[in-house]
Structure 1
Amino acid sequence: MASAVSPRSKLKPRGLFASMRSSPGMPSRLVSVADLITPLPASAPEDSWGQNASPAGARQIACGHRWPSLRCLWRLFTTFLRAPLTASSFSRARLNGPRAAGPTICGLFSPIATAPATGTMSSPPIQHPTGTPVEARLTPEKWRDRVAALALGPVAALAIRLGAAGLTYLLQIVLARSLGAADYGLFSLAWNLVTIGGFLATLGFGQIAVRFLAEYHERPETALARGFIRHAILATLAGSLVLVALGVMVLTSAQIPASLVTLVAIGLAALPFFALTDLGEGFARSQGWTMRALVPAYIARNGLMIGAFLMLLALGIGSDATVAMALALVATIGAAVLQYAWTMPPLRRVFPPAPPQSARSGWNRAALPTLLADLALLARQNIDLILLAALAPPAMVGIYFAATRIASLIGLVEFAIGASFGHRFAREASDAAFHQARRWMRLAGIGGAMALAMATPLILSLFGEAFASGFWPALVLLAGAAVRMALGPLDDLLTMRGYPGEVWRANLIGALVTTIVCLLLAGPWQAMGAAIAATLGNLAAGAALALAHRRVARAGDPA
């Protein structure tokens, strides 16, 4: 005998928000947007739960009104925010049922500093016919908490990096106008050497500090944390002294102009302070202190240099490249002092006094592949410009350099998200933080790439009419950066989970792909060939990271 079928089960859901069938144990008749704005009849049949079984009855349960109201529209909007990001996820049955698993639109705006919390309603919950209460509403208090969390997380990091970029451009303008082309070129060369040397002088400890200090805080293991801090500072000082010694040997043995020798010598004096500032940034990032981590290196140092130059101009004191480098030395020392004065006292409170313990061999084994990853990353990010300079005329190199400066702006978003989530990758065994960071990177990558693509003609026009041909190379670079960001911060995740070797191998693969393609295409296609090479190298590195992440996950590690 055929089983009895309820007349309601034959009704078809209609409307976009009724595209998913109800789950077992739920009413089979789903409610659509059209149902929400349909007047409630005077009487409606009741089902076995004693509730209105009609769509209008379900609307009355959810909204508490017989006609649509602002409250009803607000419930519909918040349901959309909490709905899973799938093609058929917006059914009315999901509104009053249990929260679906998986990423949600609202998850894009969930707190960054802590894992998203479910919470409960402050008012009596509205009951679904199955007895399951409706999920807590997005109250103004919760929105304020989420906005505050964003202000202290990736949004703060992005704001600092954008402010630093603005200060950097302002500094370059001040230097160029006050020094002249020749002295400005000498200063830029010497300062770039300091930047690269200071970045490498940490020997990888600036990056792994985020991982180890976060882990030691989570366990907690105060003695190991204090031992790591001491060892990292000593290793950074040793790396700085080695680079300074190599620099002195080069200056005394090579045929270098006297003016450049003086500049590089002053820069070598600034190198240890630059490296210590970078290491202190890692200390602060390990505890999620965005302001302490980024302000000294990216705001204070540039701000001090700009202020010093403006003071010289106001006093009518002439300046040249040597004076500029001396002021850069003072600003670098000031940034290092601020970094440690702002970071170390609270860090000592996090890790109270205890006899330091050492795990030197393990720390060094983790730092070496991180250093190699940094070297490979520098090669991958600069080899296209170096090869183009050897294969194309200088004018084309300048056009391509302008295009890379536009595409590099989207990298600020990637840095901001990585700086905010890195310590969470080390603390949490699950991938919840990574999925959240990846959603942010996808949203920011696509949106940022589209915005920059539309602004590219205007930005290039600021460089001059001759730079208009850099439009298409810039678009290629932006497209590659957006696709790469869609994969998420895999390099930060693998580094924080103890797999820095996978990161340096991926960057090495990307550098090799960039080199090979650039040698093939930069000659005939000039800037476009270099842009294609850089994009393919970026995507190759991303693919290698994705494969490494899958391989590690299959081996049973949460990374």
Structure 2
Amino acid sequence: MGRGAKTLLSPAGIAARIRSFLLDRSDQSIAQRMAGAAFLIRVLSAGIAYVSQVLMARWMGGSEFGTYVSVWVWVLLIGHFANAGLASAAQRFVPEYAERGDHEGLRGFLAGGRRLGVVIATLIAAAGLAVLWRFGHLFTGAMVMPLALAALCLPMFVLTDIQDGIARSWNWTDLALGPPYLIRPFILLGCMAGGHFAGFESNAVTAMGCAVVATWAAAVIQFVLLNRRIAGRVEAGPQRTETLFWLKTSLPIFVVETFYLALTYTDVVLLKQLRGPEEVAVYWAAVKTLALVAFVYFAVAAAAAHRFSEYHVAGDKQKLADFLRASIRWTFFPSLAATILILALGKPFLMMFGPDYVKGYPAMFVVSVGLLARAAAGPVERLLTMSGHQTACALIYGGAFVAAVVLCLLLIPPFGMMGAAIATAAALTLESALLVWVTTARLGLSASFWIKPAAA
């Protein structure tokens, strides 16, 4: 080994390289740091959530835990829908208003966009409570009260989502992801543990009550901290509200996200309807164990969306092509490593939930195929959405969702959770292949981690 190599591998050399990376202000370095921070937060969140779910599964039993999981999935699903695309659109509005020097519009969106999201979510929650009051007798008795409590989560869940998008636009990863992914699950775990050891019954109602407390507390903390940080970036002054313009821009993005989220939770929802809560609990544990793989995609997408928007608005095709290639590399190779690691340790992880949960181990291998297919495409969905091709993106996700529903209906009755896993993997693979094809056809960019994309 030469002197140069030894110098690079020495403590001083390593420290110098780390210092250089941390101080590098290039767009790709900032994006890498943002993606790394997002990934770290999601991993820490997964640790808290994993401990929470293991303890809750043991305290509550399979049936009650399965009911809680099913209801919380509805909170995630409807909560992300209820922001009407404003959370993702924030990553277009904030950079665009700032780039144009439109401070009135920027101040208007920072305040009015959040108000609009909370109003929409409150109306949806009120409608849900009205349905439960009128038609509650049609639901399983164990589901009514947890669903009512779930409705109370929606306004603050949506507020957190939109504040997440605003914070990402300024690369404030800690403020974007810390409250929903660290503070909220930590408070949930604390409430459940306190209730359990205080002698309260550990059931789905108790768990959803704790979820309400955690969701509201995290949203309020994030609101206060975000306002303080915005005050240091945006001077106080007049505001301009452009509600129709915001909705016109965000609703196509909402359609994309609707199908994306529907595809994400279709397997769990249909498994609950076609099998039973115990099998849902086992499958949920298996899928959550694979969360580290999905975190890589999430982290890179969190760092990439507003960059795609900036380069597209600026018309810089070469930067767009280079950044796309880099973001796909950042997604695929870490996802592959995480998949190998998790599958190797899958059984011990599932044993933490209880002996019966090991039955979900084979399903992990199947679902991982779909996750790797998505990783191989990278965050091209964000690129298409931020470059005005959200309609094509929505059609792709709509097709993948329909495929997932049909396959779940065909495969879950005979094969149970393995059928759900096969349906999910097939739908994710179809989705990824179509996204890559459209990216090449519409933008002239090769969405590949081994071929350098050429700008059209």
Q: TM-score, normalised by structure 1?
A: 0.68
Indicate if the aligned counterparts of 2:63 and 2:277 stay in contact, CA closer than 8 A. Answer: no
**Equivalent residue number for residue 420 of structure 1:** 303
**Equivalent residue number for residue 436 of structure 1:** 326
Report the Cα distance in structure 2 between the residues aligned to 1:413 and 1:558, rounded to whole angstroms.
26
Structure number with bigger Rg = 1
- Note if 1:337 corresponds to 2:270: no
The CA deviation at 1:225 is: 1.4
Percentage identity across aligned positions?
27
Indicate if the aligned counterparts of 2:119 and 2:155 stay in contact, CA closer than 8 A. Answer: no
Indicate if the aligned counterparts of 2:65 and 2:281 stay in contact, CA closer than 8 A. Answer: no
Q: Cα gap change, 1:408/1:503 in structure 2, threshold over 3 Å: closer, same or farther?
A: farther
**Equivalent residue number for residue 345 of structure 2:** 455
Report the Cα distance in structure 2 between the residues aligned to 1:405 and 1:447, rounded to whole angstroms.
17
**Equivalent residue number for residue 493 of structure 1:** 383
Report the Cα distance in structure 1 between the residues aligned to 2:121 and 2:142, rounded to whole angstroms.
23
Residue type of the partner of 1:406? Answer: T
**1:356 match: secondary structure:** coil
Residue type of the partner of 1:435? Answer: R
Q: Cα gap change, 1:351/1:544 in structure 2, threshold over 3 Å: closer, same or farther?
A: farther
Counterparts of 1:1-400 in structure 2 under 5 Å?
Answer: 69-71=2-4, 140-147=15-22, 152-178=33-59, 184=65, 187-254=68-135, 255=137, 256=139, 260-312=143-195, 316=198, 318-319=200-201, 321=203, 322-387=205-270, 400=283
**Equivalent residue number for residue 449 of structure 2:** none
Q: Cα gap change, 1:145/1:199 in structure 2, threshold over 3 Å: closer, same or farther?
A: same
The CA deviation at 1:312 is: 4.6
Report the Cα distance in structure 2 between the residues aligned to 1:217 and 1:317, rounded to whole angstroms.
53
Report the Cα distance in structure 2 between the residues aligned to 1:460 and 1:285, rounded to whole angstroms.
33
The CA deviation at 1:352 is: 2.2
Report the Cα distance in structure 2 between the residues aligned to 1:242 and 1:558, rounded to whole angstroms.
45
Indicate if the aligned counterparts of 1:410 and 1:449 stay in contact, CA closer than 8 A. Answer: yes
Q: Cα gap change, 1:194/1:482 in structure 2, threshold over 3 Å: closer, same or farther?
A: closer
Gaps spanning 5+ residues in structure 2: where?
Answer: 24-28, 313-318, 446-453
Report the Cα distance in structure 2 between the residues aligned to 1:191 and 1:398, rounded to whole angstroms.
12
The CA deviation string for residues 403-460 of structure 1, in whole angstroms up to 9 with x for no partner, is 4333343111111111122222222343133222111112212211222232234334
The structure with the largest helix share of the pair is 2
- Note if 1:477 corresponds to 2:352: no
Report the Cα distance in structure 2 between the residues aligned to 1:182 and 1:453, rounded to whole angstroms.
26
Report the Cα distance in structure 2 between the residues aligned to 1:529 and 1:260, rounded to whole angstroms.
25
Report the Cα distance in structure 2 between the residues aligned to 1:186 and 1:469, rounded to whole angstroms.
19
**Equivalent residue number for residue 90 of structure 1:** none
The CA deviation at 1:141 is: 3.3
The CA deviation at 1:258 is: 7.1
Report the Cα distance in structure 2 between the residues aligned to 1:329 and 1:393, rounded to whole angstroms.
25
Indicate if the aligned counterparts of 1:385 and 1:401 stay in contact, CA closer than 8 A. Answer: yes
Gaps spanning 5+ residues in structure 1: where?
Answer: 1-67, 78-137
**Equivalent residue number for residue 117 of structure 1:** none
Indicate if the aligned counterparts of 1:288 and 1:423 stay in contact, CA closer than 8 A. Answer: no
Q: Cα gap change, 1:190/1:475 in structure 2, threshold over 3 Å: closer, same or farther?
A: closer
Indicate if the aligned counterparts of 1:217 and 1:350 stay in contact, CA closer than 8 A. Answer: no
Moved more, 230-239 or 176-185: 176-185
Report the Cα distance in structure 2 between the residues aligned to 1:346 and 1:530, rounded to whole angstroms.
44
Residue type of the partner of 2:200? Answer: G
Report the Cα distance in structure 2 between the residues aligned to 1:229 and 1:469, rounded to whole angstroms.
47
Report the Cα distance in structure 2 between the residues aligned to 1:74 and 1:496, rounded to whole angstroms.
43
The CA deviation at 1:360 is: 3.6
The CA deviation string for residues 212-240 of structure 1, in whole angstroms up to 9 with x for no partner, is 21222234322221222233223212211
**Equivalent residue number for residue 100 of structure 1:** none
Residue type of the partner of 2:79? Answer: G
Residue type of the partner of 1:224? Answer: G
**1:357 match: secondary structure:** coil
Counterparts of 1:539-558 in structure 2 under 5 Å?
Answer: 539-554=429-444
Report the Cα distance in structure 2 between the residues aligned to 1:194 and 1:470, rounded to whole angstroms.
24
Indicate if the aligned counterparts of 1:178 and 1:319 stay in contact, CA closer than 8 A. Answer: no
Q: Which has the higher contact order (CA 8 A, sep 6+)?
A: 2
Residue type of the partner of 1:542? Answer: S
